[in-house]
Amino acid sequence: MNRVLMIAALVVSTASVARAKSIVGDWQGTLSAPGGDLRLVLHITAGEGGSLKATLDSVDQGANGIPVASVALKDSKLTLDVEAVQGTYEGTVNAEATEIKGTWTQQGQSFPLDFKPVTTPTKTEQKPAKPSDIDGAWTGTLEAGGQKIRVVFHITNTENGLTATMDSPDQNANGIPVTSVTRTGASLKLELKLIGGAFEGKISSDLTTIEGTWSQAGNTMPLTLKRGK
């Protein structure tokens, strides 16, 4: 009896590993949200010890490489925790591993989201270009509700213009995509549609600070960014 149980356990374990390997790759789906349809691309890769890792692209928002904090696959149930945008996903992988049917949840709202594998995912690649005079890391601190929240913007010039990501170290959120970077002279605007935030500021003449305002969820607060090393 014990031998039979051991063999059964081995079969179940082998099946789980096979399923984990089968979902490694690129998956694309469309999220129907109140603001319109958003194409999403999920990139799943194999990590150490049979674990899984992933990133997420929001194609129509120009946000690529959103980090997925955790990926869990148990039997046919897939769960993703995307801390950077405070979103989660729960889905079921079919037996053939040709579809993941599930639900995306963000800011208390849930929407159906199904993924199917693709060989050539839709993605906008940004090729690097000669660094601009504001390329690099810019750090500031937001004071909200008695709390101090550090933010870091990483600005990079590309062939298609300036791009950026934002880190919020105190919230354990890194690599939040900045969906648009607009610079007109000394004026700079950074929009983060994924979290409904924006920063507008003036670049100092010595290129060491950007003094401006952070806006999110109808609230505004002063924010001064200082150039990092």
pLDDT in tens, 120-131: 766 556 677 899
Residue after which a domain boundary falls, among 83, 117, 151: 117
Judged against a pLDDT cut of 80, whether residue 11 lies above it is answered with no
Could you tell me if residue 186 is inside a domain? yes
Rounded Cα distance between 67 and 197, Å, is: 18
CB-based contacts of 111: which residues, under 8 Å, 6+ apart? Answer: 31, 32, 33, 103, 104, 105
Could you tell me if residue 203 is inside a domain? yes
Could you tell me if residue 127 is inside a domain? no
Any idea what the Cα angle at residue 197 is, between residues 176 and 67, rounded to 5°? 15
Query: pLDDT, tens digit, for every residue of 172-185?
Result: 788 888 888 999 99
Could you tell me if residue 126 is inside a domain? no
Within a 13 Å sphere around the CA of 47, how many CA atoms are in the beta-carbon half?
13
Residue 50 and residue 146 in one domain: no
Residue 162 and residue 84 in one domain: no
Residue after which a domain boundary falls, among 90, 117, 144: 117
Could you tell me if residue 164 is inside a domain? yes
The CATH number that applies at residue 198 is 2.40.128
Could you tell me if residue 41 is inside a domain? yes
Residue 113 and residue 10 in one domain: yes
Could you tell me if residue 122 is inside a domain? no
Percent helix / strand / coil, the chain, rounded to 5: 15, 60, 25
Residue 82 and residue 13 in one domain: yes
At 16, is the pLDDT very low, low, confident or very high (cuts 50, 70, 90)? very low
Residue 113 and residue 140 in one domain: no
Residue after which a domain boundary falls, among 59, 90, 117: 117
Query: Do 30 and 38 contact (CB within 8 A), yes or no?
Result: yes
pLDDT at 170: 87
Question: Average pLDDT, stretch 67-84?
Answer: 93
Residue 86 and residue 162 in one domain: no
Q: Structure pTM?
A: 0.60
Residue 70 and residue 10 in one domain: yes
Residue 149 and residue 62 in one domain: no
Total domains, the chain: 2
Pairing of strands 63-67, 187-192: unpaired
By residue count, the chain amounts to: 229
What residue numbers bound the domain in which 43 lies?
Answer: 2-117
Higher pLDDT, 193 or 114: 114
Could you tell me if residue 131 is inside a domain? no
